[in-house]
Structure 1
Amino acid sequence: MTTPERRGTTTVSDRAVRRIAGRAVIEALPDGAARATGSSAAVRGGRAEVAVDVALPYPAPLTPTVRRVQDHVTARTGELTGLDVRTARVGVTALTPARTPEPEGATETTPAPSRTRVPRRWWSQRRLPLGVLTLLATLTCGALATDLILVHTGHRPAALWRTGALHWLYVHGPGEPPVTAAALGCALLGVWLIVLSVTPGRRGLLTAHSPAPATRVAVDRGAVAALLRDTAAGTEGVDTVAVRVRRRRATVRAALAFGDRAAARDQITDAARRALAECGLRRPLRLRVAVRPLPVWTPPPAETAPVPLGAVAPAGGS
């Protein structure tokens, strides 16, 4: 009888989990209406953290759609990888027109926004600064620890770089330019790290209301700007539209080719407000609409006043 061989270990890489999560986004909605624009994954032992950026169909209720994508990505990734996947983080980066219209008679209600606290901003993980700082600290502490171990266990002399650094610090005083420049650099580095730790970053994302406390929803400012641009461009007489979306304000500038200027401005304002309301942003944006006529603008035809009945036209002569 042959003894069984020793079983190996299956390791699922971050890249594999990321690609599986991106594929799961396409499977989340019927007819592949959702697509992944970016994804990231981190595997630690038997657990995995997944984050995906998606483009969703428009018009569609944003909150339940994101919740559906989030649940499917979490469940599907865990099923295919065998890992314990935490609730996936979903960020909406674009809104695209739906491929197929909804069947007649089908109604879908949008749940009311949750009363739970929603984060004001989407915090960034600061991977690059943290990685650089960790690498420098690891190299410095590793070199120092290695030299100390060799000195005390191998009875070797201290490394030249360590004795040279101590001699340089002993010779140079606090008031000399090199020491002052080094201190200033350390102070600036400390201020930079403090700013990174207390600011959320990811200024391009706007948080939205979520139906459940465990769900975090954010909309890319570029997607909101594209939505407002398409909404304003559908107004009669509008030639070009420029939209700028900031953290607290959205500005729409439209160029009018023909028609009434005041009426066009009112139509754009109403349509833009409805579009912003559908996004479900936690902090509603202040809307500013400006309509300017083009040099070739054609004004609307003047309406002629009706002639009252019984009025007699003046005679040509006395």
Structure 2
Amino acid sequence: MTAPAGSPARHRDQDAPRHAPPRRFWSVRRVPAALTALVILAVACLFLYDLAAVRAHRPGMRWRQELARQLDRHTPADTAVLIAGGVLALAGLVLLVLAIAPGLRGILMMRAPEGAGAGVRAGLGRKAAALVLRDRAMEVSGVRSARVKAGRRRVKVRATSHFRELEDVRTDLDGVLAVAVEELGLARPLPARVRVRRGKE
């Protein structure tokens, strides 16, 4: 007895390994890291110089003496102390988010090519993807101009038509853009939201 024609294909699909979605690229963030390092270095050098001056039996810096007086005068319940603490907490939260977030939101992850190793990753800039989709949209009959914005979850297309029915143009745009998005090879499909209006004569 022979198995149905569709059985082997279904069996192969079930046994085929499912690849995990590619990991996003991480931003290097050289500027925030350099600024944070410079601030920490400057504060450390300032305290080290003051400590060395005190050890050499010289008076401490005026700013440290004034800071000590202010700390002795104010309590944690004072408004100024609460504001300063809130600012420092917010700065720490921003640094924490920068440390744990991948960044590079302008890059769309692409599918790994067939046969590529696990460490191979590819990305496409959102502006480049929008330019490609705009060129494909301009090939549709009846489209006079098109504006495309590629987001991380969807593509927004605004087109103007100077002839043909708007519904026909929108239908053609939906089909062309669906194929174009598939050809980009993105790891996450981007549905297109198309709006067509009549251009001014």
Alignment TM-score > 0.5, same fold: yes
**Residues 156/278 of structure 1: CA separation in 2 closer, same or farther (3 Å cut):** same
**1:250 to partner: Cα distance:** 0.5
Measured against aligned partners, the alpha-carbon deviations of 1:206-231 in whole angstroms (never above 9, x if no partner) come to 11123333333111111111111110
Q: Which has the higher Rg, Structure 1 or Structure 2?
A: 1
**1:195 to partner: Cα distance:** 2.2
| 1:166 paired residue among 35, 57, 68 | 68
Measured against aligned partners, the alpha-carbon deviations of 1:26-85 in whole angstroms (never above 9, x if no partner) come to xxxxxxxxxxxxxxxxxxxxxxxxxxxxxxxxxxxxxxxxxxxxxxxxxxxxxxxxxxxx
Question: Which residue number corresponds to residue 276 of structure 1?
Answer: 181
Whether the 8 Å contact between 1:116 and 1:213 is mirrored in structure 2 is: no
Find the aligned partners of 2:167 and 2:22 in 1 and give their Cα distance: 38
Q: Secondary structure at the match of 1:253?
A: strand
Listed as ranges, the matches of 1:127-276 within 5 Å are 127-152=30-55, 154-210=56-112, 211-276=116-181
For structure 2, list consecutive stretches of 5 or more residues without a partner in the other structure. Answer: 1-17
**1:123 to partner: Cα distance:** 2.3
Alignment coverage as a number of residue pairs: 181
**1:294 to partner: Cα distance:** 3.3
Find the aligned partners of 1:234 and 1:250 in 2 and give their Cα distance: 17
Question: Larger RCO: Structure 1 or Structure 2 (Cα < 8 Å, ≥ 6 residues apart)?
Answer: 2
**1:140 to partner: Cα distance:** 0.7
Listed as ranges, the matches of 1:1-318 within 5 Å are 115=19, 117-119=21-23, 121-152=24-55, 154-210=56-112, 211-294=116-199
Whether the 8 Å contact between 2:22 and 2:187 is mirrored in structure 1 is: yes
Instruction: Compute the RMSD of aligned alpha carbons.
Output: 2.1
**Residues 269/117 of structure 1: CA separation in 2 closer, same or farther (3 Å cut):** closer
Find the aligned partners of 1:262 and 1:174 in 2 and give their Cα distance: 65
Whether the 8 Å contact between 2:143 and 2:159 is mirrored in structure 1 is: yes
For structure 1, list consecutive stretches of 5 or more residues without a partner in the other structure. Answer: 1-113, 297-318
1:162 maps to amino acid: R
Bigger share in strand: 1
Q: Secondary structure at the match of 1:236?
A: coil
State the identity %.
34
Q: List 4+ stretches of structure 1 deviating above 6 A.
A: none
